[in-house]
Amino acid sequence: MLCCDTARQLYLDAGVPSDRLVLGLIDMIAWQAPIPGERKHPVAPSDTENTAIGYLPGSGQKFAGDRGLLAPLTDAFTKGGLPARAVDDLTAVKLGNMAFFIGFLCVLQTNGWSFDQVRRGSHLSEASSAAWELLPIAAAMAQRPWIGYLRFGVYALVYRLMLFAMVHFFAFDMGTCGPTPTKKQLSAEMEAEPDAGVRRSCAAGRTERYLQYHFTKVSKQMELYANTFIREGRKRGLPTTTFAQLVARNPHWQLADDAGDANDERK
């Protein structure tokens, strides 16, 4: 989920009128298909790979800008098979979504993208605690107080239900790969090809491997979002301790020095 604010500023700095620009929010994942074993997105005979996309049923790509520019754009996406719609306040949508999701994404990445692993212990409770910290920060950044009140509906159970939905209802995974393997089969595959990682597990039908493929690709962007939330929270005197500790434990993200006292967060 990325709103192209930086790209927008580059165009503005180059002299492009602001009323000619449209902002978009990426609300999907993408991967180079087919991942070995994938049947849903076959490659055309003349191609070596395709870019496949997946999104939640009922969701849509969101765009903001001049309505006269938006209509043909959203119509073209929708007719092409990718749902799209116009929204009035893309910044609020972006920050609210990210504040809810990024703590969960952090614990998932820290735990090797394993749904089973994050269901155990306190991982989902920590993700919900992070959202309780981040949603008020998002509200302050977007100047939309209502975003902060969303935290009262965020609990570990919500993320548990989200995991269930990811396995059973995500459009990009339904019918894509073979049956979920047993632990013995997975162990045998990893012993035979230990470096296969994402490709091997996805071929075995593990939904989380699609998330791993996509969010490993955009990991640096997620790290930037994480540090921005911490930095903005500290600037406003809002708590960030739980989320900063999650970021510090994630071996793939670096807690920025100017996001606070990194040494304290790593204890």
The pTM of the whole model exceeds 0.75: no
Q: What is the pLDDT of residues 8-55, one digit of tens each?
A: 778 888 888 888 888 888 777 777 776 655 555 555 555 555 677 777
Q: Give residue 56's pLDDT band: very low, low, confident or very high (50, 70, 90).
A: low
For 29, half-sphere exposure in the C-beta direction (CA atoms, 13 angstrom radius) is 23
Tracing tokens 């930037």 back to the chain, one arrives at: 224
H helix intervals, the chain: 5-13, 67-79, 90-110, 115-119, 123-142, 146-149, 156-168, 183-192, 198-203, 207-217, 219-235, 241-249, 262-265
Q: What are the distances in angstroms from CA 82 to CA 3, 59, 62?
A: 17, 10, 11
Q: What is the pLDDT of residues 76-128, one digit of tens each?
A: 988 888 888 898 888 888 899 999 999 999 999 999 988 889 998 999 999 99
Contact by Cβ (8 Å): 167, 207: yes
CA distance linking residue 193 with residue 190, whole number of Å:
5
